[in-house]
Amino acid sequence: MSADFSHRLPIAHVPAGGQTLRLEAGPAERAALARRFELLALHSLVAELRLAPDEGGAVRVSGGMTAELDQACGITLVPIRQSVREPVAWRLLPTGMEPSDGEDDPDDIETEQDVADLGEALAQQLSLALDPYPRAPGAAMPGNPSDEAAHSPFAKLLRLKPQG
């Protein structure tokens, strides 16, 4: 498990009535996550979570995550401010419990010795929510798109096809 943003939770410590948690990455944690995910800056990362015991010793986690960050435009490299808002739906699994594979099931988070790292789970969810190809408004690839299309392998194949 990474130490970039760690919040370790023994799942047996979740009370029978459940509990709420607010996790917020501090400045050093945000800087480490920004380096890890190649962000220009991570201004905030906050999660509001509700934990409740589930069958078999698992723990259900629901809530939401928000983040404010700067990514570099993939074309111009100018900073782009991004807002991320993601629902959280996890099931923390005790050691030895098999993950489910249902499409509508929450994401299963395996634990190590029945301890879940909620911070790392949030970091991984953030990484999946990032725009893989950020583009500033009006940014365009250099070159004429029609020139590229004329020289594509498919255009060359069309020229080889007999007409008529």
Domain map (residue ranges) of the chain: 8-160
- Residues 59-117: pLDDT tens digits? 999 999 999 999 999 888 899 999 999 999 999 999 888 888 777 778 999 999 999 99
From the CA atom positions of the chain, what is the Rg in Å? 22
Q: Over 70: is that where the pLDDT of 146 sits?
A: no
The whole-angstrom separation of Cα 142 and Cα 75 is: 9
pLDDT of residue 1: 44
pTM: 0.80
Percent share of the chain, pLDDT over 90: 66
Nearest Cα to Cα of residue 43 among 55, 31, 35: 31
